[in-house]
């Protein structure tokens, strides 16, 4: 299986693909460690996890966006302090991206930083967010406005957790990973496009996709861990995608929202003459497979522009968009929210979503 190390300014950490989650947990856990687990995972994998949960203190959470807030993490922190959690103890996160964000944020601020391990259970977490160090929580209705950088000490990936995911969750993970393959170049994108359908049903193919996605991301985060320069390209599709998520009250899963967002970014890139429409259409053929069966036609253009104006990548009143000059040529472009740009958005929502 695939295993690799990631260099980090905070602390280096490893990624290990495993097939025996219970055995790894029993081997790795120490007295005083606390498991923070998504309640859905706790119930779905009761036979697998209960022998471990019987031995170690755990905190179950309902992994919704509400947990990713000051109000959401406060009861968890209160429970840790009340029950004697110490700086030498560790947090063990078992769940998807929301469980990861909540645990990482808590680990980064508890006693100025405690160790934590991560067992990602969603495709989006396994193929993307498990590495990169980011900790993010929401503020009011605005997504990922608060946080920092604090990686886990070890990540254990078991694809068996994906067996209980819905098709929407799998598509969301594939949609999120897609942007790495476009950033990497035409060869990687062609591979992803060709293997997309098979990866949804074949774990061996999917494991290769996950590993390659993490390899691409690893190369960038080791050069720009704190998201100041090269790594900014990974926000491709995310400015638009985050606005779609918040305005649909997260009805549209993250990776599917990002797939719409990448198409929007490509649409704007065509308007600006950065790419030929044939490039956009080639990518769109895949993105449509990701978002098929969803709709965002109910989004108000006025509300969309307001949400876009709140994006954390903006500089002053200028939008910090990640646009496309071709496969492997994704870049940051500062763009005013002027009449022409709003007109393009209106054209997209009017004509491009049929």
Indicate if the pLDDT at residue 115 is higher than 80: yes
Examine the domain organization and report whether 212 and 111 are in the same domain: no
Integer-rounded Cα radius of gyration of the chain: 20
CATH number of the domain within which 246 lies: 1.20.1090.10
Burial tier of 260 (Cβ tally within 10 Å: 0-12, 13-18, 19+): buried
**Half-sphere exposure of 222 toward its Cβ, with a 13 Å CA cutoff?**
12
Cα–Cα dist 11/120, whole Å: 19
Q: What is the tally of structural domains in the chain?
A: 2
Query: Could you tell me how many residues make up the chain?
Result: 354
Q: Which pLDDT score, from 0 to 100, does residue 269 have?
A: 98
Domain residues for the domain of 215 are: 167-351
Indicate if the pLDDT at residue 133 is higher than 90: yes
Q: At what angle do helices 254-271 and 277-291 cross, to 10 degrees?
A: 160
Q: Which pLDDT score, from 0 to 100, does residue 65 have?
A: 86
Three-state DSSP state, 5: strand
| φ, ψ of residue 82 in degrees (nearest 5) | -65, -30
Q: Which pLDDT score, from 0 to 100, does residue 329 have?
A: 98
* pLDDT per residue as tens digits for the range 38-87: 999 999 999 999 999 999 999 999 998 899 999 999 999 999 999 999 99
Mean pLDDT, to the nearest integer, of 88-96?
98
> Whole-structure pTM over 0.75, yes or no?
yes
Last residue of a domain, one of 143, 164, 185: 164
Indicate if the pLDDT at residue 98 is higher than 90: yes
> In terms of Cα–Cα distance, which of 170, 135, 165 is closest to 256?
170
Mean pLDDT, to the nearest integer, of 121-146?
91
Share of the chain above pLDDT 70, in %: 100
Contact 118, 155 (CB under 8 A): yes
Indicate if the pLDDT at residue 32 is higher than 90: yes
Mean model confidence pLDDT for the chain: 95
CATH number of the domain within which 121 lies: 3.40.50.1970
Mean pLDDT, to the nearest integer, of 165-183?
97
Q: Which pLDDT score, from 0 to 100, does residue 305 have?
A: 95
Last residue of a domain, one of 137, 164, 191: 164
| φ, ψ of residue 281 in degrees (nearest 5) | -65, -35
Indicate if the pLDDT at residue 354 is higher than 80: no
Mean pLDDT, to the nearest integer, of 89-95?
98
The pLDDT confidence band at residue 142, using thresholds 50, 70 and 90, is confident
Q: How far is CA 239 from CA 125, 142, 202, 334, in A?
A: 19, 12, 31, 12
Q: Which pLDDT score, from 0 to 100, does residue 281 have?
A: 98
Examine the domain organization and report whether 251 and 339 are in the same domain: yes
């Amino acid at each position: 299986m695939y295993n690799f190390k990631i260099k980090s300014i905070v602390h280096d950490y490893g990624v290990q693909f495993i097939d025996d989650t219970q055995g790894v947990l029993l081997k790795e856990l120490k007295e005083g460690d606390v498991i923070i687990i998504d309640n859905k995972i706790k119930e779905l994998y009761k036979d697998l996890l209960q022998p471990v949960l019987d031995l170690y203190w755990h905190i179950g959470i309902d992994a919704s966006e509400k947990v990713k807030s000051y109000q959401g993490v406060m009861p968890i922190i209160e429970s840790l302090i009340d029950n004697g959690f110490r700086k030498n103890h560790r947090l063990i996160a078992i769940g998807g991206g929301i469980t990861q964000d909540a645990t990482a944020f808590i680990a980064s601020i508890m006693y100025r930083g405690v160790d934590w391990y991560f067992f990602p259970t969603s495709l989006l977490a396994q193929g993307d967010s498990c590495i990169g160090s980011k900790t993010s929580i929401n503020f009011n209705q605005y997504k990922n406005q608060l946080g920092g950088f604090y990686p886990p000490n070890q990540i254990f990936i078991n694809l068996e957790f994906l067996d209980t995911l819905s098709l929407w969750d799998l598509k969301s993970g594939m949609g999120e990973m897609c942007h790495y393959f476009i950033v990497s170049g035409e060869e990687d994108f062609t591979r992803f496009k060709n293997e997309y359908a098979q990866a949804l049903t074949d774990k061996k193919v999917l494991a290769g996709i996950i590993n390659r996605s993490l390899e691409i991301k690893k190369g960038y985060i080791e050069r720009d861990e704190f998201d100041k320069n090269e790594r900014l390209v990974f926000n491709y599709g995310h400015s638009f995608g985050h606005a779609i998520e918040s305005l649909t009250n997260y009805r549209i899963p993250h990776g599917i929202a990002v797939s719409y967002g990448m198409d929007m970014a490509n649409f704007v890139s065509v308007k600006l003459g950065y790419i030929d429409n044939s490039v956009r259409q080639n990518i769109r053929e895949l993105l449509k497979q990701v978002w098929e069966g969803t709709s965002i036609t109910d989004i108000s253009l006025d509300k969309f522009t307001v949400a876009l104006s709140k994006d954390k990548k903006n500089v002053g009143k200028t939008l910090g968009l990640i646009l496309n000059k071709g496969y492997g040529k994704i870049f940051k472009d500062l763009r005013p929210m002027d009449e022409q740009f709003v007109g393009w958005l209106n054209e997209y929502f009017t004509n491009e979503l049929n």
